[in-house]
């Protein structure tokens, strides 16, 4: 292993948790030394692209990103999944807005573009990470989970919210289609701004290989947690996917 690992800062929503911390993962595999990268930064619960709009945000995510750009040599920004899996349904079911998945994706990407255009990115080497395939399946599970989350702090129980949320929740394939559309737009945005882009979905997908699959791409069962949760399960295999993706993104593997 490299005795002087590369320093990479990662800032993202709660789905970026599996990037932290690298030394525990190395020890779990029996490595005496650290990985070729040392990851700093943090995953920020409930951080959303909607919060990147002009104005104040209680989470101070924009300020953290600006501070990281001033210090980091390599930076990964991993945002968007909270918006796609929870924010979208909050707007439909709770705020009673009418917005189609395609238009919602375009809205998120426009926010991201405006935010990035307002930053001094150079000389930091920045990579944008795409969102993961959804773990919200089957649809009955997704309805219960989304209902519970989007009604936090509201004057209704999540069970009361289920019939309100149910009509809006997409199927697994439809949800993944929204994620893939977001990633395609994000990759294009990265190219326009001269940034790196990567996602982990080929590695996270169920077999057969998505390029050859006749069925829509889905998250493999081995990456789903048995808990009432919507994050990729924290396993050795999932960690390896995340770290190898990070290394490849910066041409370190």
DSSP string, 99-133: --HHHHHHHHHHHHHHHHHTS--TTSEEEEEPPPP
Work out the mean pLDDT of the chain and round it to a whole number.
90
| pLDDT beyond 60 at 208 | no
| pLDDT beyond 70 at 158 | yes
| Higher pLDDT among residues 64 and 35, named by residue | 64
Determine whether 203 is exposed, middle or buried from the number of CB atoms within 10 Å of its CB (0-12, 13-18, 19+): middle
What pLDDT is attached to residue 56?
A: 60
| pLDDT beyond 90 at 177 | yes
What pLDDT is attached to residue 2?
A: 45
Residue 211 pLDDT level (bands cut at 50, 70, 90): low
Q: What is the mean pLDDT of residues 214-238?
A: 91
Please give the share of the chain, as a percent, with pLDDT higher than 70: 93
- Which helix H or strand E contains 14, and what residues bound it? none
- All structural domains of the chain: 6-130+176-204+234-249 (3.40.50.1110)
- Tens of pLDDT, residues 78-109: 999 999 999 999 999 989 999 999 999 999 99
Lowest mean pLDDT among 26-35, 59-68, 100-109: 26-35
pTM value is 0.92
- Provide the token pair at 46: 């409930």
Lowest mean pLDDT among 24-28, 224-228, 231-235: 24-28
- Provide the token pair at 16: 């970026």
| Cβ within 8 Å of residue 152, ≥6 positions away | none
Alpha carbon distance 55, 48 (integer Å): 14
């Amino acid at each position: 292993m490299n005795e002087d690992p590369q320093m990479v800062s990662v800032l993202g929503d709660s789905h970026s948790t599996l990037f932290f911390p690298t030394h525990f993962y190395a020890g779990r595999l029996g490595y005496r030394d650290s990985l070729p990268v040392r990851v700093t930064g943090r995953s920020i619960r409930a951080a959303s692209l909607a919060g990147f709009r002009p104005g104040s945000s209680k989470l101070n995510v924009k300020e953290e990103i600006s501070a990281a750009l001033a210090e980091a040599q390599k930076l990964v920004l991993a945002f968007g999944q909270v918006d796609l899996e929870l924010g979208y349904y909050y707007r439909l079911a709770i705020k009673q807005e009418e917005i189609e998945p395609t238009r919602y994706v375009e809205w998120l990407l426009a926010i991201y573009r405006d935010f990035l255009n307002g930053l001094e990115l150079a000389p930091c080497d920045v990579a944008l990470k795409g969102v993961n395939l959804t773990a919200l399946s089957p649809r009955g599970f997704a309805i219960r989970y989304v209902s519970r989350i989007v009604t936090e702090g509201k004057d209704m129980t999540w069970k009361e919210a289920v019939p309100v949320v149910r009509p809006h929740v997409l199927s697994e394939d439809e949800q993944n289609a929204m994620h893939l559309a977001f990633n395609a737009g994000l990759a294009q945005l990265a190219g326009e701004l001269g940034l790196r882009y990567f996602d982990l979905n080929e590695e996270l997908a169920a077999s057969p290989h998505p390029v050859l699959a006749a069925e829509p791409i889905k998250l493999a069962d081995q990456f789903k947690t048995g808990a009432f949760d919507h994050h990729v399960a924290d396993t050795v295999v999932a960690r390896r996917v995340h770290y190898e993706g990070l290394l490849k993104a910066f041409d370190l593997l």
